[in-house]
Structure 1
Amino acid sequence: MTMPVQGVQHGIAPPTLWICEHCDTVFRRRVLACGEVARCARCDAILARHHRVGVRGMLALVLTAMIAFIQGNIWPIVTLGLNGHLISTTLWGCIVMMWNEHAQVVSVIAAMTLFFIPIFKMGLLGWVLLYARKGERAPGFRLAMVTLHRIGPWTMSEVFVLGTLVAIVKAHMYFDVVPNAGIFAYGVLMLIITAFASIDVRELWDLTEERRA
């Protein structure tokens, strides 16, 4: 079992140490085996986990997520049919429709959590990983890492996919419902986000060094 270490300044962890972000207990760092997870002996919080996916793998996931995101916003999400009339729309079309129907608050929240924040997060993470491939820290690395940590909970693509699937099932009682390619693209995006949930991007602090002037 890893033993706590005393006498380390709060918030500053040498490369050979782990600091629990919940109870501030300090542990000696060691190499984790495949599938192993290091937990705090005091509060049982996760300190670190072994990752099979390296920096290049993370960058590939980000690029794949960007492609799925673009396709999910270009292609229609669902087609509704009633008495021979068909209507289909994209995600952005739904947002504009909600705005025009005087649901501006819902429209803005949907636009932020399903469009602007996800694309900003993917772009920012891609920027950091492009430099991390060479073991370097990108310009603005510290601010980028803090921003990624702050906006992490505000990407709601997986909630959108699950909610849309429930709506399709219920709407099928009244309309002819045909899922379109857009919802499948968002399904792929949800799987990629789920894969990223098991990756701790904070490891980039240890995998990169400050760029030389």
Structure 2
Amino acid sequence: MVRNSTITRKTKETDIQIELNVDGQGKADISTDIPFFDHMLDLLARHGLFDLEIKAKGDLEVDAHHTVEDVGICLGQAFRASLEDKKGIRRFGYSLVPMDEALVMTSVDISGRPHLFFDVDIPAEYIGNFDTSLVIEFLHAFVNHFAITLHVKLLSGKNVHHCIEAVFKGLARAIDMATQIDSRIKGVPSTKGEI
């Protein structure tokens, strides 16, 4: 079974192409023209062992909001399309990821029900020219279009770069766990018979 997808989105604000292989090796080719965001998406691919190619152009002369949000939309759609009927997946995944003094707990349920619980007090408004409030905007878009429940909690941390990096690494590890195929699971892992 090949679990991959290609998503394109073109609006008056953004032009995005994403190629995703869920069962990859962590290869990434990311270009959004937002260097810190590129770095976080590269971490997501590498630590989740997803092969991920993202080419995004947006109205950065306005700000980065539209680009970050629309990449979240497309990446959520890519994961959802790659998993198709979700047969045999573990469904649940979690991680506890340290990044120096920062520690983040992440838990995911590929439930078909979008919900984000985000308890992360990011202690600065910007990293370079990246608006840190866009982290939650990315996650909202990603969760809504992947149709997953995601909990993210910062347990400790003061350095804003470390905190956000731990969020993305934790997300990668939790999604990797949840999307893995378990040969013991027959059909969809739900008493409803579908997710």
Bin of the TM-score, shorter chain as denominator length:
under 0.3
Q: TM-score, normalised by structure 2?
A: 0.26
Q: Larger relative contact order (C-alpha < 8 A, sep ≥ 6)? A: 2
Q: Which has the higher helix share?
A: 1
Q: TM-score, normalised by structure 1?
A: 0.25
Tell me which structure has the larger Cα radius of gyration. 1
